[in-house]
Chain A
Amino acid sequence: MWLRIGAIVLCILAVGAAVWGIVPWLEIQRWAAGEQRTFQNVMAGALRGIQAGDPSAALTLCSATAAYGFFHALGPGHGKVLIGGAALASGATLKRLSIVTVLSSLAQAATAILLVGGLYFLLQIGSADLADLTEVWLAPASYVAIGAIGAVLVFRGVRSWHKINQSKQVTHGCCGHAHGPSADDVATLTTTRDAVVLIASIAIRPCTGAFFVLVIAARFDAFKVGCLAVITMGLGTAAFNLTVATSGVVARRLAGLGARNHHGVQAISAMLHLTGGVMIFAISIVMLLPYLR
């Protein structure tokens, strides 16, 4: 059985890697970096405009941060890995996942606002120390949380596979009807608890780009405008992550087409848990590595 699971998981990963290989990442990244640079400069111009009292600068800043959030999200990051993996593994509808995606980006913006509001204003902690705090503590905390979610997905996948096998034996043994797990037993992210954990693990690590917008805005006596700009930045990030969530759900549905019966559906769900879990776990470990040295 393990050999079979392993083979199927490897197959899904190999197809994923092949698709990954076709995409000209280097050029996309280069293009995204160029766009990011442009919007970074527009942000700077708008912040100087706010300092000079230009009334339209706030609108310019918010549009620029939204675009910045979108292009910035094009790079590989922890949020996308988690959202993509969860979309693959979970039983959640696209609508539900979309809400989780948007909320996680907004929660991330809220973390930045709270940290800057609390630490910078009340405790007079400088922006360099805020960046330090994020990098040294919050980023690895977020990776650990995400790795743990990956491990839980793997565990759920293994457990439902085990149940399926048990129920098969029971079926063959006597009664002639299955006591298999219900579809709900193997689905993930259908509860509020799961969704909250997912959102929190992304939100632990705020965006330092957001920090700097907030801190510079505060220096120019425009903290409120900074908050608004950071929220639109989150929405820009969410817009990109929604495409990742959609791809994950589509991939899951495609995989589901191969199932012929109830057992098949459950077996595929178990495999997708394993695949998504292994992917999330592996990437979170890669992101954690620099901290373990």
Chain B
Amino acid sequence: MELKYPVSHKFCGLICLVMCLGGPAKAHPHVFVDARTGFVFGTDGQLEALRISWTYDEFTTLILFESLDLDQDGDGQFNNADRAAIIAGETNWDSAYKGDVYLELSGQDYPLGRPEAAGVTLNNNQVEVSFDLPLSQPIRIETAPVFLRLYDPFFYYAYTIVPPTDPSDLPEGCQALIVAFEPNAAESALKDKLAALGLDEIPAVENVGRLFSDEVRLTCG
């Protein structure tokens, strides 16, 4: 089987995929992530990067401790080597993996760069990894909304977008609204989508997958 994630992400993916009586991964989230999102604007008012943070559940945090052999001195704190190991595992992903971060602009996935300025903290027995994802080209946001979604098409990781701890300063007139996933809406949207397909069309899995995710809707002006 082709492994799609780099070390620790791949590894966590496996956990999810394989746990007890686990069958099709669709129904089996194993790693629960509370995600925070932010938008980085340049001085010219264009959107330059996304600020993402992942807070893993306590069990996944323990697994990370075990698999990366963290906190060898047992003081409950991370040292520089621990942080470097986590950052390498979490953000040095291969090009096929998109970090489960999708920015939609006019119905298209907008290309994103690789993680920058990564950091790690440990709070309440949960590891938090944060990083910036630059946009391939800065864009000017206008009244048409831009959607930011965090999801794993295979649902090994269950992302919940939670409000940012310190709301980033959005430019004058811009708004970022978190729209939580709602089962009924997603189910009926899926049914509409499937009903709209012709008999010879196969639904694009990714597009179906995104119906089931939380999203952040960014508008300006």
Contacts and interface: CB of A to CB of B under 8 A. Distances in A.
B139 interface: no
Interface stretch (B9-17, B142-150, B168-176, B199-207): B9-17
Contacts of B27: 25, 29, 75-76
Contacts of B36: none
Contacts of B26: 76
Which of B15, B26, B59 neighbours the largest number of chain A CB atoms within 10 Å of its CB?
Answer: B59
Nearest to B212: A26
Contact of A30 (B21, B23, B183): B183
Interface in B134-169: 158
Interface residues of B, number: 36
B63 A127 contact: yes
Interface string A191-231: 00000000000100101111010011001000000000000
A36 interface: yes
Interface in A109-153: 126-128, 131-132, 134-136, 139
B41 to A, nearest CB: 34
Contacts of A209: 15, 19-20, 30
Overall SS of chain A's interface: helix
Contacts of B11: 128, 131
B103 to A, nearest CB: 25
A205 B125 CA distance: 30
A208 B19 contact: yes
Interface of A: 24-27, 29-30, 33, 36-37, 40-41, 43-45, 47-48, 69, 72-73, 75-81, 108, 126-128, 131-132, 134-136, 139, 202, 205, 207-210, 212, 215-216, 219, 233, 237, 241, 283, 286-287, 290-291, 293
Given A48-B125, A75-B27, A208-B20, 10 more contacts: A30-B183, A72-B21, A72-B28, A76-B24, A77-B28, A80-B23, A81-B23, A108-B21, A136-B1, A290-B1
